Amino acid sequence: MPKILFLPHKVILPEPKIVYAEKGEIILNIALKNNIYIEHACGKSCACTTCHCIIKSGFSSLSKSSDKEEDALDKAWGVTLKSRLSCQAKLGNKDITILIPYYNKNYV
């Protein structure tokens, strides 16, 4: 069972949090199930980028991103080469570390 480390966020998560999840689970669902509220204004439909997260380690273990997700990420604030939409990224077999950006297009 992979370990997910959510790094601290000054508003959402003042202390780092480690959780465990099954392969194939979506990052956003894992976060919400563990009381980490990542905004998701479009209701997990890959349309808004408010659930943008940065994978600090374990990026290659996640599911491949779709063209739709890549197109959406082009509109995200602070996007990096290791960015994913947490509503789309499925957990693989390896541990991952996640940074929730301080800002998104609804909270700047």
Catalogue all structural domains in the chain, each as residue range(s) with its CATH number: 3-99 (3.10.20.30)
Structural Rg of the chain based on CA atoms: 12
Q: How far apart are alpha carbons 93 and 73 in whole angstroms?
A: 24
Query: Are the CB atoms for 56 and 82 separated by under 8 Å?
Result: yes
pLDDT of residue 105: 59
pTM strictly above 0.95: no
Q: Which residues of the chain fall below pLDDT 50?
A: 108
Q: How far apart are alpha carbons 103 and 38 in whole angstroms?
A: 11
Q: How far apart are alpha carbons 108 and 97 in whole angstroms?
A: 24
